[in-house]
């Protein structure tokens, strides 16, 4: 008595299995890539998105530098560039601080960052000095207001003396 092997049949023509072919998936990926290449830059070119992101980054950096001054018990500075193009955080010797979270140096140059290109620091109150000094307890002796602008709109980031409260609000040009 012999054993018979199951008979393999050829697929029936005209019957389509469910799923996508590799070609269909490649076409979809190309279409999505093209849509993203146009959509993402235009999303970030919106003044409200760009300004909100720039203001939140400055507020976060102010909090980080103040906290770092308190933790390491040393004076630290956030220095604003004369041309209004950005800022950096430094120690007493002028050495730029490096983020302990792996985010790199605390240097922001809006003209070199594609997301923030066109953003400027329009005003500081008070105007001089062009820096914020955090004492070894992480506090500042004077309040500061930084007005950031982009395409005719502004946001104001404030840092309150003593309390260190950082707030972000809409500027008069909004």
Is residue 72 domain-resident?
yes
86 with 121: CB under 8 angstroms? yes
Is residue 23, in this structure, part of any structural domain at all?
Answer: no
For residue range 58-100, list pLDDT tens digits in order.
Answer: 999 999 999 999 999 999 999 999 999 999 999 999 999 998 8
- pTM for this one? 0.72
Phi, psi angles (nearest 5°) of residue 58: -65, -45
Average pLDDT (43-71) is 86
| Whether 77 contacts 132, CB under 8 Å | yes
Cα end-to-end span (Å), the chain: 91
Scanning the structure block, which residue is given the tokens 């190309």?
30
The two most distant CA atoms of the chain are separated, in Å, by 103
Q: Are strands 76-80 and 86-91 parallel, antiparallel or unpaired?
A: antiparallel
The total number of structural domains that make up the chain = 1
Q: Does 26 map to a domain?
A: no
* 3-state SS assignment for residue 9: coil
Question: Does residue 146 contact residue 89 with C-beta atoms inside 8 Å?
Answer: no
- Residue 80 is assigned to a structural domain of this protein: yes
Instruction: Please check whether residue 134 lies inside any domain of the structure.
Output: yes
pLDDT in tens, 98-132: 988 877 899 999 988 878 889 999 999 999 899 99
Is 120 a domain residue? yes
CATH code for the domain of 126 = 3.55.40.10
Q: Is residue 103, in this structure, part of any structural domain at all?
A: yes
Q: What is the domain extent for residue 85?
A: 44-170
- For residue 147, pLDDT beyond 90: yes
- In this prediction, residue 91 carries a pLDDT of 94
Contact 141, 161 (CB under 8 A): yes
């Amino acid at each position: 008595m012999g054993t018979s092997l199951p008979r393999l049949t050829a697929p029936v023509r005209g019957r389509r299995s469910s799923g996508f072919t590799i070609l269909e998936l490649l076409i979809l990926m190309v279409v999505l890539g093209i849509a993203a290449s146009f959509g993402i830059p235009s999303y970030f070119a919106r003044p409200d998105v760009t300004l909100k992101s720039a203001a939140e980054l400055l507020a976060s950096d102010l909090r980080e530098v103040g906290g770092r001054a308190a933790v390491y018990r040393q004076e630290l500075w956030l220095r604003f560039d004369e041309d209004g193009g950005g800022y950096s955080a430094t120690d007493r010797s002028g050495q730029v601080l490096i983020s302990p979270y792996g985010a790199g140096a605390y240097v922001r140059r809006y003209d070199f960052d594609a997301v923030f290109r066109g953003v400027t620091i329009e005003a500081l109150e008070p105007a001089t000095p062009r820096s914020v000094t955090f004492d070894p307890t992480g506090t500042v002796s004077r309040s500061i207001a930084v007005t950031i602008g982009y395409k005719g709109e502004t946001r104001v980031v404030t840092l309150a003396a003593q309390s260190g409260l950082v707030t972000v609000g809409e500027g008069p040009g909004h």
